A = this chain, B = another copy of it.
């Protein structure tokens, strides 16, 4: 990157089902927490660009939802845009913010995400999610979004020694983490029997293999690393990032037991950061379905192809394991407000790396976030570091 950048503030709304709150309310809730997280020196007038990840605008404000939100919190006149890459919208918004600051074009950039999913109920909600698959080849053929991941899971279980229990263990782990997260949609533990015995959604995936639909927002403030001291003694440095895309339709992919775009994004992020998978202490990964977390382990290089399930079986990625993953509860338990998710991951890592994660705190100086759009049409990976 042209000049190093750091995150000096981050915040998020509660994640959940909030029929009485608008997109603007949720955005303001996240923004207020961000402001409160900044130790000193924050002046809203210094923010000179904002990038807002969002997929569906709650079905209400189709155009210009980004300016609607930033204007509402008093960030007047700045360049602001909505960034959409389905569930990777937040990650791409952060790419833009990081590049805007690293380029020297902007000095203070807000990366944000917001989603109001629960307004869209019943058939409309299913339609809405389905359209992140390939319309021509998947949706119009009757494929649901869970169905897409079910196909990936079927193949993975056929090709490896994993069985469905390993997928359920992801849900159990993430619910245990979510139980310790006051912002999480589900703050309750579940046991393996509950997870394995849940009603089928799309074979082999059941209800507890799937993340919920969620209302929520998140944001992070990106500044040049050399200016970070004006805001805090504990900045979180963004030392690497990668973004990639791929065919939307599964049949056009090189493989369906991996997410090639995520693999490519990870390679790029590691290369920029000058680190490898073994250097990552803690990660937030995109577990929209349990199978996605297992694939993430492999795509990020935490495990070899076909052996990601061993990490969950052995407890490596549990909060007290060697490399905790989704300490926030992940999409599964913390919730998945589509456009906000990629930024919500930043909020968790910001807290973990600064030691302010409360009951979820792990020991970590290097964090990673992994955000996937649709079933892999787009992906971003970021590396964060603190200390020297």
Using CB atoms and an 8 Å cutoff, list the residues of chain A in contact with chain B: 1-2, 22, 49, 55-57, 60-64, 66-68, 70-71, 76-87, 92, 95-96, 99-100, 102-105, 128, 131-132, 134-136, 243-248, 252, 260-261, 264, 373-374, 377-378
Contacts and interface: CB of A to CB of B under 8 A. Distances in A.
Contact of A373 (B64, B102, B132, B373): B64
A270 B70 CA distance: 25
Contacts of A62: 55-56, 86, 128, 131-132
Given A63-B86, A132-B62, A78 B245 contact: yes
Given A71-B245, A78-B245, A378 B264 contact: no
Contacts of A246: 67, 71, 76-77
B71 A81 contact: no
A80 to B, nearest CB: 5
B248 A64 contact: yes
A85 B104 contact: no
A78 B60 CA distance: 31
A71 B134 CA distance: 12
A96 B51 CA distance: 11
B131 A79 contact: no
A373 B66 CA distance: 11
A83 B80 CA distance: 10
B77 A377 contact: no
Given A56-B62, A71-B377, A77-B260, 8 more contacts: A49-B243, A63-B85, A63-B87, A63-B374, A76-B246, A79-B95, A102-B103, A102-B105
B105 A64 contact: no
Contacts of A61: 131, 134-135
Contacts of A87: 63
Given A2-B2, A63-B373, A248 B83 contact: no
Contacts of A134: 61, 68
Contact of A77 (B79, B83, B100, B261): B261
B67 A2 contact: no
A218 to B, nearest CB: 18
Closest 9 CB pairs of A and B: A103-B103, A63-B86, A63-B132, A79-B243, A62-B131, A67-B245, A64-B377, A82-B84, A67-B377
Contacts of A80: 85, 245, 378
Nearest to A132: B63
20 contacts: A62-B131, A62-B132, A63-B84, A64-B248, A66-B378, A67-B378, A68-B248, A71-B245, A71-B247, A71-B377, A77-B245, A79-B243, A80-B378, A81-B95, A99-B103, A99-B105, A102-B103, A102-B105, A103-B103, A103-B105
A83 B85 contact: no
A80 B248 CA distance: 13
A82 B83 contact: yes
Nearest to A106: B99
A71 B261 CA distance: 12
A244 B78 CA distance: 5
A130 to B, nearest CB: 9
A259 to B, nearest CB: 12
Contacts of A84: 63, 66, 81-84
